[in-house]
Structure 1
Amino acid sequence: MKNDESMKINDDAKKSVSELFDQFGTTKAGLSQVEAGSRLSKYGPNTIQQAKRQSEIIVFLENFTSLMAILLWASGIIAMFAGMMELGIAIWAVNIINGCFSYWQQHAAQKATDSLKKMLPAYVKVIRDGKTEQIPVDQLVPGDFFQIQAGDSVPADARIFDSANLQVDESSLTGESVPVEKADSYRHGDGEFAQQNIIFAGTIVTSGTASAIAVATGMQTEFGRIARLTQSQKKVIYPLQRELNHLTRQLTVIAIMLGIAFFLLAVFFVHYPLAQSFIFALGMIVAFIPEGLLPTVTLSLAQGTQRMAKKHALLKNLSSVETLGETTVICSDKTGTLTQNQMTINHIWLVAHQYDVTGTGYVNNGKIQANNADVNVQQDGDLSRLLSIATLNNDTEVAENPDGGKAKILGTPTEAALVILSRKAGVAAKVENQRFPRLKELPFDSGRKLMTTITKTTEGQPLIYTKGALGSELQICDRILDNGKVRALTTADRDNISAANERYSKQGLRALAFSYRIVAEDDPLNDTEIANYTIENAEKHMVFVGLTMMSDPPRPEIFKAVRNCKRANIRIIMVTGDSPITAKSIATKIGITSDKAQVITGDELDQMADKDLREAVKGEVIFARVAPEHKFRIVSMCQANGDIVASTGDGVNDAPALKRADIGIAMGVTGTDVAKDAADMILTDDNFASIVSAIEEGRTVYSNLQKFLLYILNSNVPEAAPSVIFLVTRGLVPLPLTVMQILTVDLGTDLLPALGLGIEKAEPGIMDQPPRPQNSHLLNRSIIWKAFGLYGLTASVISTGAYFFVNHVNGWPSIPLAASGLPYAEATTMTLGAIVFCQIAAAMNCRTQISSVFSIGLFSNRRIWLGIGVEIVLIACLMYQPFLQEIFNTGPLNVAEWVFLFCIPIPLFLLEEARKWAARKISKNN
Structure 2
Amino acid sequence: MALWFAKSQEEVLSSLDTNVEEGLSSQEVEKRLQSFGRNELEVKKQESLLKKVLGQLEDPMIIVLLIAAFLSYVSSGFEDWIDSVIILLIVVINAIISISQENNASKSLEALQKMSAPLAKVIRNGKLEHVETATLVPGDIIELEAGDLVPADARVLTAANLKADESAMTGESVPVNKKALDSLPEDTVLAERKNMLISSTVITNGRATCVVTDTGMKTEVGRIANLLITEDDNTTPLQQKMAEISKMLSIICLGICVLMFIVGLLYHRPILEIFMMAVSLGVAAIPEGLAAIVTIVLALGVQRLVKRHAIVKKLPAVETLGATSVICSDKTGTLTQNKMTIVETFVDNGQSETDILTIGALCNDSKLTVTSTSDFNVTGDPTETAFVSKAFEEKLDKNQLEQGMPRVAEIPFDSERKLMSTVHKMEQGYRVMVKGAPDVLLNRCTLPAAQAQVIAEKNAEMASNALRVLGVAYKDIVEVPAELTSEDLENNLTFVGLVGMIDPPRQEVKAAVEQCYEAGIRPVMITGDHKLTAVAIAKELDIFRDGALALTGAELDLMPQEILEEEVTKYSVYARVSPEHKMRIVKAWQAKGMVVAMTGDGVNDAPALKVADIGCAMGITGTDVAKGAADMILTDDNFATIVHAVEQGRGIFSNIKKSIQYLLSCNIGEIITIFVATALNFHQMPLVAIQLLWLNLVTDSLPALALGMEPVEPGVMKQKPRDSRKSIFADGFAASMIFYGVLVGAITLAAYWLGEYVLSDPNIADGTANTMAFATLVFGELTRAFAVRSETRSIFSIGVFSNSAMNKAFVVSLAMQLAVLFIPFLQEIFKVQSLTGTEWIIVIALSLVPLIVSEITKAFRRQGNTTEDVAEVAAH
- Asked whether the equivalents of residues 440 and 531 of structure 1 are also in contact (C-alpha less than 8 Å), the reply is no
Picking from 792, 807, 816, the partner of 1:850 is: 792
Residue equivalent to 1:375? none
**CA distance in 2: counterparts of 1:543 and 1:136, whole angstroms:** 52
1:198 aligns with 2:196: yes
- Asked whether the equivalents of residues 64 and 95 of structure 1 are also in contact (C-alpha less than 8 Å), the reply is no
- Asked whether the equivalents of residues 708 and 758 of structure 1 are also in contact (C-alpha less than 8 Å), the reply is yes
Picking from 334, 337, 345, the partner of 1:337 is: 334
Residue equivalent to 2:730? 780
1:467 aligns with 2:418: no
Residue equivalent to 2:309? 312
Residue equivalent to 1:759? 709
- Farther off after superposition, 871-880 or 840-849: 871-880
Report the Cα offset of residue 76 of structure 1: 1.4
Residue equivalent to 1:393? 363
Alignment of 1:424-463 (within 5 A): 424-460=393-429, 462-463=430-431
1:612 aligns with 2:563: yes
**CA distance in 1: counterparts of 2:827 and 2:212, whole angstroms:** 81
1:557 aligns with 2:555: no
Report the Cα offset of residue 346 of structure 1: 1.0
**CA distance in 2: counterparts of 1:405 and 1:388, whole angstroms:** 20
Residue equivalent to 1:59? 52
Change (3 A) 1:244 1:718: closer
**CA distance in 2: counterparts of 1:697 and 1:97, whole angstroms:** 25
1:157 aligns with 2:99: no
1:510 aligns with 2:468: yes
Report the Cα offset of residue 829 of structure 1: 0.8
Change (3 A) 1:882 1:643: same
Change (3 A) 1:669 1:513: same
Residue equivalent to 2:596? 645
Picking from 778, 794, 797, the partner of 1:836 is: 778
- Farther off after superposition, 549-558 or 136-145: 136-145
- Farther off after superposition, 855-864 or 655-664: 855-864
Q: Is the partner of 2:392 in helix, strand or coil?
A: helix
- Asked whether the equivalents of residues 109 and 315 of structure 1 are also in contact (C-alpha less than 8 Å), the reply is no
**CA distance in 1: counterparts of 2:35 and 2:405, whole angstroms:** 56
Report the Cα offset of residue 261 of structure 1: 1.4
Report the Cα offset of residue 68 of structure 1: 0.6
Report the Cα offset of residue 35 of structure 1: 4.7
**CA distance in 2: counterparts of 1:142 and 1:589, whole angstroms:** 46
Report the Cα offset of residue 227 of structure 1: 1.7
TM-score by length of 2: 0.93
Alignment of 1:160-559 (within 5 A): 160-186=156-182, 188=184, 191-268=189-266, 270-352=267-349, 381-399=351-369, 407=377, 409=379, 411-460=380-429, 462-479=430-447, 489-491=448-450, 493-519=451-477, 530-559=481-510
Aligned letter for 2:587?
Answer: S
For structure 2, the 5+ residue unaligned runs are: 869-876
Aligned letter for 1:102?
Answer: S
Residue equivalent to 2:611? 660
Residue equivalent to 2:874? none
**CA distance in 2: counterparts of 1:619 and 1:841, whole angstroms:** 50
- Asked whether the equivalents of residues 107 and 629 of structure 2 are also in contact (C-alpha less than 8 Å), the reply is no
Change (3 A) 1:60 1:517: farther
Change (3 A) 1:43 1:490: same
Residue equivalent to 1:48? 41
Change (3 A) 1:751 1:501: same
Residue equivalent to 1:748? 698
Picking from 9, 20, 24, the partner of 1:27 is: 20
Picking from 739, 747, 752, the partner of 1:798 is: 747
**CA distance in 2: counterparts of 1:123 and 1:450, whole angstroms:** 34
1:15 aligns with 2:9: yes
**Sequence identity, in percent?**
38
Aligned letter for 2:490?
Answer: E
Change (3 A) 1:186 1:463: farther
Aligned letter for 1:515?
Answer: A
Q: Is the partner of 1:748 in helix, strand or coil?
A: helix
TM-score by length of 1: 0.88
Report the Cα offset of residue 421 of structure 1: 1.5
Q: Is the partner of 2:499 in helix, strand or coil?
A: strand
Aligned letter for 2:515?
Answer: N
- Asked whether the equivalents of residues 453 and 464 of structure 1 are also in contact (C-alpha less than 8 Å), the reply is yes
Report the Cα offset of residue 256 of structure 1: 1.8
- Asked whether the equivalents of residues 763 and 851 of structure 1 are also in contact (C-alpha less than 8 Å), the reply is no
Aligned letter for 1:625?
Answer: R
Residue equivalent to 1:373? none
Change (3 A) 1:19 1:289: closer
CA offsets 1:560-588 (integer angstroms, 9 cap, x no match): 21111111101011111111110100111
Aligned letter for 1:182?
Answer: K
- Farther off after superposition, 184-193 or 637-646: 184-193
**CA distance in 1: counterparts of 2:12 and 2:650, whole angstroms:** 60
- Asked whether the equivalents of residues 800 and 831 of structure 1 are also in contact (C-alpha less than 8 Å), the reply is yes
- Farther off after superposition, 844-853 or 44-53: 44-53
- Asked whether the equivalents of residues 5 and 195 of structure 2 are also in contact (C-alpha less than 8 Å), the reply is no
- Asked whether the equivalents of residues 105 and 302 of structure 1 are also in contact (C-alpha less than 8 Å), the reply is no
Residue equivalent to 1:920? 862
**CA distance in 2: counterparts of 1:553 and 1:781, whole angstroms:** 43
Q: Is the partner of 1:430 in helix, strand or coil?
A: helix
Report the Cα offset of residue 204 of structure 1: 2.0
- Farther off after superposition, 776-785 or 183-192: 183-192
- Farther off after superposition, 643-652 or 209-218: 209-218
Report the Cα offset of residue 547 of structure 1: 0.7
Report the Cα offset of residue 298 of structure 1: 0.7
CA offsets 1:474-527 (integer angstroms, 9 cap, x no match): 221223xxxxxxxxx332x233223322322232211111111223x6xxxx5x
**CA distance in 2: counterparts of 1:102 and 1:753, whole angstroms:** 24
**CA distance in 1: counterparts of 2:132 and 2:627, whole angstroms:** 26
Change (3 A) 1:879 1:261: same
Report the Cα offset of residue 192 of structure 1: 2.3
**CA distance in 2: counterparts of 1:406 and 1:817, whole angstroms:** 90
Change (3 A) 1:59 1:311: farther
Q: Is the partner of 1:617 in helix, strand or coil?
A: helix
- Asked whether the equivalents of residues 583 and 607 of structure 2 are also in contact (C-alpha less than 8 Å), the reply is yes
Report the Cα offset of residue 327 of structure 1: 1.2
- Asked whether the equivalents of residues 160 and 213 of structure 1 are also in contact (C-alpha less than 8 Å), the reply is yes
Q: Root-mean-square deviation (CA), in Å?
A: 2.6
Q: Is the partner of 2:192 in helix, strand or coil?
A: coil
Aligned letter for 2:730?
Answer: N
CA offsets 1:430-460 (integer angstroms, 9 cap, x no match): 2322333333322222223112223333202
Aligned letter for 2:383?
Answer: T
